[in-house]
Each structure stands twice: as structure tokens, then as C-alpha cells.
Amino acid sequence: MATALRSLQLIPSIPLAPHPTPIDELTRLRAALGPECPRLLMKRDDLLSFGQGGNKVRKMQTVAAAAQQEGADMLITCGGVQSNHARVTAATGAVLGMQVVLVANGARPQPLTGNARLNALFGAEVGYVASREERNQTMELVAAEARAEKKHPFIVPLGASTPLGAIGFARGVEELVTSPHRPAAIVHSTSSGGTQAGLILGCALYGVKTSIIGVSADDPSAVLTTTIAELLFGAASLLGAQPASIGAHSPIVVDDAFVGSGYGVPTPASTEALALVARTEGIVLDPVYTAKAMAGLIARVRSGVWRRDETVLFWHTGGVPGYFV
Ligand SMILES: Cc1ncc(COP(=O)(O)O)c(C=O)c1O
């Protein structure tokens, strides 16, 4: 275990933003949710000071280091038109002097908005495809063309949700252990699985006893739990750890009850959560990911899942440019 933690800390990483991010206490949101509400904290990864922040910055720090080690001069990745991950990849390429090609499924917004607008600002090229299914093949084509031109492309899979990306995120748990806070639960948005795998891994290695609840923005729970377990097995192998010692065999909690009618489509609960957090705390959530995760937290508070003397931490994974779409 100690060796695996050491390996986690030693994996090469490019510091894209200073850490730690703040952990804010949400006293007004707590008051608004009534006398039985537990103590509420928020880990402010939305404030990571690189490329407009968010969870993808943590994952990109280890993934970009691997790209650099391989001598890459080009990053290729994919996502939806408003992908936060694509935007952070665009910013990473800009600072590392690498060309960036993004494969986005959907139509080019006219005019460019939110993350799509930031991608252009960071200097990335964007190729649009009609469906999610075309993304991987298109990335391979772009990479093959680049190799033919003697370039060194590096494909970053969707969401940087690879074992290495999860390791990048897991390091963030050190910021929790070095804080005075010991939450009974951590609630966050989950979609491609790397953040949740990182939290499970980090909590196991840093000895944080808490329940980790991923609220899906998208896929059914059964699909995501399998993906997260696979990421944990991959991370265990990179770190030379037993999968069980990093939580790969423990139950993985993904709640898919807050997706509503689909990815990015607001629900009454997510719209309420977004407005309530803004009007009590002056904090902006995003409609695609964090507002749905906060709706999951609020529903649990209202149904009395936690005692009022317990602490619950909401990990704000960013995505705020998505509000301006
Ligand atoms: C703002 C935001 N929150 C949460 C997530 C989910 O993270 P992950 O893809 O690592 O599950 C994403 C990305 O998909 C995101 O952009």
C-alpha cells in the first residue's frame, strides 16, 4: 500500500495549475435545505486556474506528461461539441506548444459558444462528425495522416479517462487528507469514469474512509461501474498494487436516477439545484454535469440519508463554460 502510494506520487505530471483548490463550507445552502441537513462542503476544482478549470485539468497533468515523454507534438482527442475535456486539451496543447485536433460529435455552433468558443481561442482545430460512434475512427485517421507528415500525434481517449488520467485525479485526494475535513460522503458528477476511479483510488491509498457517490450525467449505472472497475484494474497494474487494495473489488456507487431524458438535457431537479446554489452561495454549476450531481445530493439530503452532524463534500468538477451556451 505504502509502495503504491509512493508510485502514485512519483508518476510524471506536468503542473498545469497550482493546488490545492479551496474547500468551501456551504452554510447558506445548508440553511436553505432545512434543519436536518448535514454540514456541506464543496471542493472547488472549478477554480483550478488553468484553461477555465475543472476535473480534466487534474487528469491532463499526468496524461500530457506521458504525451511529452513519448515526444508528441500533437494532441488528438474527442468529445461532444461542448466537451470540457476537449477545451482543457486545447489549452494544454497551447501551453506545451503542441498542435491540437479535436473531433467533436455534433454541429458547429453558429456563433461559437462556451467551450467551442474557447477551443478556437486556444488555437485548436476542430473536426465535426455526426455521431459518437465515428469519433474513435476519425481520431485514428487524423493520427495516421499526421504520421504520414512525420508528426508525432498522441491520442487522448475520451475524457482522459485512462488509468493514467485516474491517477492524476487521485492525487487530488491528498488535498483532502491534508485538510481538517473528514466527510462521510463525497458526491460528484460522473460520466466517462476517470474522476470516480481517481477518487476511489485516491481515497484507498490515502486512507480516507468515505462513501463515494458518482451521479451519472449520461450512462446507466451498470455501464459506468464496469468502466470504473476496469480503470481501477488498469491503475493497479500501473502502480504495482493489488486491485483489491485500491478498491477495485468494492461496490462502486453510481446513481443514474438524475440523468432525466438525456445527456445535457436539464431536468426540473437540476434546474432547481443550479439556481439554489447560485442564489445561496454565489457559486455557478453547469447544466450538463454538476447541476445534476447537486440534484442527487439535494435529493439525498431531503430523504434524510445523512445525519445533521455528518459532513458531506460535493466535489465541484467545473464545466462552468457550459453555462454560457
Ligand atoms: C464538468 C464535468 N464534471 C464531471 C465530468 C465527469 O468526469 P468523468 O468523465 O471523469 O467521469 C465531466 C466530464 O465528463 C465534466 O466535464
Q: What is the CATH number of the domain that holds 293?
A: 3.40.50.1100
CB 285 within 8 A of CB 214: no
Instruction: Quote the cell numbers at residue 202.
Output: 485516491
Neighbouring C-beta atoms of residue 126, cutoff 10 Å: 17
Residues 239 and 111 in one domain: no
Residue whose CB lies within 8 A of the most ligand 1 atoms, among 189, 216, 230, 255, for a mutation test = 189
Same-domain status, 80 and 43:
no
| Whole-angstrom distance, CA of residue 229 vs CA of residue 252 | 8
Measured distance CA(171)–CA(203) in Å, rounded: 9
- pLDDT score of 115: 98
Edge-to-edge order in the sheet of strand 153-155: 125-129, 99-105, 74-80, 153-155
Are residues 88 and 220 both part of a single domain? no
What domain range is 93 assigned to? Answer: 56-159
Same domain flag for 317 and 195:
yes
216 lines ligand 1 (CB under 6 A): no
Give catalytic residues, as residue numbers.
Answer: 83
Read off φ and ψ for residue 13, nearest 5 degrees. -150, 140
**Does 130 share its domain with 176?**
no
Q: Number of folded domains in the chain?
A: 2
287 lines ligand 1 (CB under 6 A): no
How far apart are the C-alpha atoms of 231 and 228, rounded to whole Å?
5
The reported pLDDT for the residue numbered 1 is 67
Residues 228, 87: one domain? no
> What's the pLDDT score for residue 14?
97
For position 2, what pLDDT does the model report?
84
Same-domain check for residues 138 and 246: no
Of 140, 159, 178, the residue that ends a domain is: 159
**Roughly what angle, to the nearest 10 degrees, separates helices 163-170 and 221-239?**
80
Same domain, 166 and 256: yes
| Helix and strand counts by DSSP (H, E) for the chain | 12, 10
* pLDDT for residue 121: 98
Q: Would the CB of 194 count as within 6 Å of ligand 1?
A: yes
Model-wide pTM > 0.85: yes
Q: Is the peptide bond before 268 cis (omega within 30 degrees of 0)?
A: no
Cβ–Cβ < 8 Å for 64, 165: no
What's the average pLDDT block by block, 10 residues per block, for the chain (325 residues)? 90 96 98 98 98 98 98 98 98 98 97 98 98 97 98 97 98 97 98 98 96 97 97 96 92 97 97 98 98 98 98 98 96
